[in-house]
Amino acid sequence: MKINNNVFINYFDSISCAGNNPEEMFESICQKKDTICIDSSYVKDKDVAIGKVSIKKDLNDILLERIENLLLNTNLKDFKNTLLVIGSSVGGMNETERLFFKNKNYKKINPKKHSIDAISYFLKQKYKFYDDVSFSTACTSSANALGYAKEVILKGIYKNVLVIGIDSLSYTTVCGFSALSVLSSKPCTPFDKNREGMNVSEGFGILLLQNIKEENSIELCGVGYSSDAHHMTQPHPDGIGAKKAMQNALNDASLTIDDIGYINAHGTGTYANDFSELNAINSLFVNKKPKVSSTKSVTGHSLGAAGAIEAIISSMVLQKQTIPANKGLNEIQIEGINYSIETTSSNVNYVLSNSFAFGGNNVSLIFGLTK
């Protein structure tokens, strides 16, 4: 039996190093603003480029304020009939670190404030949700959360799903990526021949998905998953898993490569990711070459929050009919890609957004204008 429910994004909000709200973030991306800072406090004897939010508050406190704004500006008065879906790779790890470094021991650490579902635990202290689910699949966490939201709305299980992708800066993650030798000491330059690595960042993306269409709704049309399981931390160099995820998303949306007007690439600025993703795009988009850019040179890589934040960017591309530039792309290494070097106005009906993670965990999402 074919289910005919559609899934619509009816509200979104965000904070990142690129801006304190979606409008600021999109403007920073389009204007190729310098938003990444150099920091020497996270990795011993090493400068790394990271993305910090400008508001000097705990990220969870900012999140609470934004949830209040959501209730004031949507058709929801409460969350009693809403499923909460969290995507995070850090969870409450930064809270644990803060207490450990302060007290020099673990005795005052609350396990409920450490785990991946620490965000939902925190929110449930103030709000009553129908239920909650937390995803932690590294850099695909909130992309998987969005895919799950689409599935439960399509099946008629829920009418309202609140998806939040969130990650704070953590010593554990920054030092972990440093140990892998993939951090850059300058703002990252995805797809550029002279790339140095990635920029870990913090932030969140909030999206309200519903089964009803509103005036400015964006439709979540397709979701594609794959797992190439090539290596613990590196994707398959030919992009086998990435290609499969994109094709699965097209199939799910009943679209072809000719329908996609823009690809928001995962584009972390690491050698392994750049080659794998671009090879996958070249392999799949043979005749039709949509514009491609990575926005992480401005937003940084917010890990588990990246899928949600880039879902918002993709939605704004559709709403504004504007394709953002790929900042820092000065010397192309892989040909055959229709890189977005400068921000341009363009007729775009569908956007494909990629999120790829350790272990070959891949998610592609397709967003479209409502008809």
**Cβ-based burial of 180 (10 A; exposed 0-12, middle 13-18, buried ≥19):** middle
Please name the residues in contact with 371: beta carbons below 8 A apart, sequence gap of 6 or more.
none
At 95, phi and psi to the nearest 5? -65, -40
Pairing status of strand 350-357 against strand 262-264: parallel
**Distances in Å between the alpha carbon of 273 and those of 74, 276, 279, 336?**
38, 5, 10, 17
Which residues of the chain are modeled with pLDDT < 50?
1-3
**pLDDT at position 4:** 54
What is the pLDDT at residue 5?
Answer: 73
DSSP conformational letter for 159: S
Q: Which two tokens stand for residue 177?
A: 């990526």
The rounded Cα 293 to chain-centroid distance in angstroms is 14
Nearest residue to 364 (alpha-carbon basis) of 210, 217, 153, 150 = 150
| pLDDT number for residue 1 | 37
Please list the active-site residues: 139, 266, 301
Task: Quote the pTM value.
Answer: 0.96
- Reduced to 3 states (helix: H, G, I; strand: E, B; else coil), residue 254 is coil
Structure confidence at residue 2 (pLDDT): 47
Q: In the chain, how long is the greatest CA-to-CA distance?
A: 60
Q: How far from chain centre, in Å, is Cα 22?
A: 13
List the domains of the chain with CATH numbers: 8-369 (3.40.47.10)
